[in-house]
Amino acid sequence: QKEVEQDPGPLSVPEGAIVSLNCTYSNSAFQYFMWYRQYSRKGPELLMYTYSSGNKEDGRFTAQVDKSSKYISLFIRDSQPSDSATYLCAMRSGAGSYQLTFGKGTKLSVIP
């Protein structure tokens, strides 16, 4: 079993839908949780960054972390065709750590 599990999809939704993306993890040392967006033939781009448990909102994006369940989510409201991409969750442990452990990514298509 990998440290970070993420359903690869693909996930296809109509424009305007609410999208829910999720990851589970097994390493209880993870404290920092990130979501990256990766367009085809591009490098990952940081979307959301959360420390420990709780919610964080940025525009149409909301990240949730439940450390007790080892489960993180990214919600996208009012999804747009431009949101079509692969979404990668990533995690790292303590404040001095730098190694990111990624999920395999979920491919999202938002259909106009």
Q: b/e string for 77-100 if b means 16 or more Cβ within 10 A?
A: eebeeebbbbbbbbbbeeeeeeee
Nearer to other proteins, 23 or 110 (CB): 23
Residue ranges that bind other proteins, judged by CB under 8 A: 4, 6, 8, 32, 36, 41-46, 49, 88, 90, 92, 95-105
CB of 13 to other proteins, least distance (A): 20
Nearer to other proteins, 26 or 78 (CB): 26
- Owner of token pair 């920092």: 32
Nearer to other proteins, 85 or 88 (CB): 88
CB of 15 to other proteins, least distance (A): 26
CB of 87 to other proteins, least distance (A): 10
DSSP per-residue letters across 58-104 = ETTEEEEEETTTTEEEEEESS--GGG-EEEEEEEE-STT----EE--
Helix (H), strand (E) counts: the chain: 0, 11
CB of 109 to other proteins, least distance (A): 16
Residue 69 tokens read as 């369940």
Nearer to other proteins, 39 or 71 (CB): 39
